[in-house]
Amino acid sequence: MKIAYLMHYLGEDYEEVSENIDQILEGGDHVFVMLNDEKLRDDIFIAYASVPECHVSTVQSAALHGDLSLPRGTILQMKDALEYEEDADADFDYFINLTDGMLPVRSRQEIVQVLEQLDGRDNYIVTADSETSEDLKKRMEEYAFFTNSLNFQKSKMLQGMNSFTKNIVKNFKNRETDDVVVQTWPFFVLGHDSAEALVDNLAYCSNQFMMCLYPEELCFGTMLRKFSPAQHQERRLWITGQGDYQEQAVIQPVTMDQVLENPEALFAVRVKAKENLPVYQNVFDAYNS
């Protein structure tokens, strides 16, 4: 079983991100890492220059939650992985995204057992679609502003400015789509066919979700419904500090109690040394236990 992990890291902690990378590499997998901090990116690039299993994203080097840069950057990481396959005559069985602060909380052996049970199917959680929720289509068609601000997720002022300006623009222009818009948790386990489908249709991502509010919740499910031939399951493999993922909200740090109370979860979203050190110390080496 060969896994390509698509890592996105906000922050400047070299020790933390290098530990996370090393755990994946020790398991024999590849990591495609997108680092927002320029100095940290240079340091990781130099430190892992002789490690072919570590790939530092350069076509798009940074991303933010709530902004097109996150789904677009993640698909570009898949593109890097598929190009590596051709160059190295290798094949990845699954592609798993590790957004900022997400870590495996189970061993690689346990994760592989789940992937084998998928038998080529994808795994992601669908929460709504525009066939049953007209509001979802309206959200996709409206334009959001200021999402490329680092503080957009937390700033009430920026969010208020976004609401004000989008209502003005709405009177002049809205994008339209005939496609079914699908909302999902922004985490996934994708097989090869789905990764190829997303990469082959990168332009659709950019065109349809430019200036879209939290496009990582809409882009992947919509594109997979439209372009991928693969079936999918909806096993809850992820936990956040809120338990299940909450739509358009800042992800909260998980607690150790939540990890222990969710034995089916393979990944915890938001485990960072500066935010929840006891959890980080307990789970960062779980992958190779």
**pTM for the whole structure:** 0.90
**Region for residue 271 given its phi and psi (left: phi exceeds 0; alpha: psi -120 to 50; beta: otherwise):** beta
3-state SS record for 17-43? HHHHHHHHHHCCCEEEEEECCHHHHHH
pLDDT confidence bin for 146, thresholds 50/70/90: very low
Per-state percent for the chain, helix, strand, coil, to nearest 5 = 40, 15, 45
Q: How far from 29 is each of 47, 56, 103, 185, CA to CA, in Å?
A: 18, 15, 14, 24
Distance CA 91, CA 97 (A): 17
Q: Is the dihedral of CA 103, 107, 113, 116 positive or negative?
A: positive
* Tens-place pLDDT, residues 184-230: 999 999 999 999 999 999 999 988 988 788 999 999 999 999 999 99
* Tens-place pLDDT, residues 235-256: 999 999 999 999 988 899 999 9
Task: Check residue 165 and give its pLDDT.
Answer: 57
Q: With a cut of 80, say whether residue 268 has pLDDT above it.
A: yes
Q: How many CB atoms lie within 10 A of CB 252?
A: 16
The DSSP code sequence of 83-132 is HHHHHHT---SEEEEE-TT-EE-S-HHHHHHHHHHHTT-EE--EEEETTT
* Tens-place pLDDT, residues 64-87: 888 899 999 999 999 999 999 999
- Lowest-confidence segment of 27-36, 165-174, 239-248 by average pLDDT: 165-174
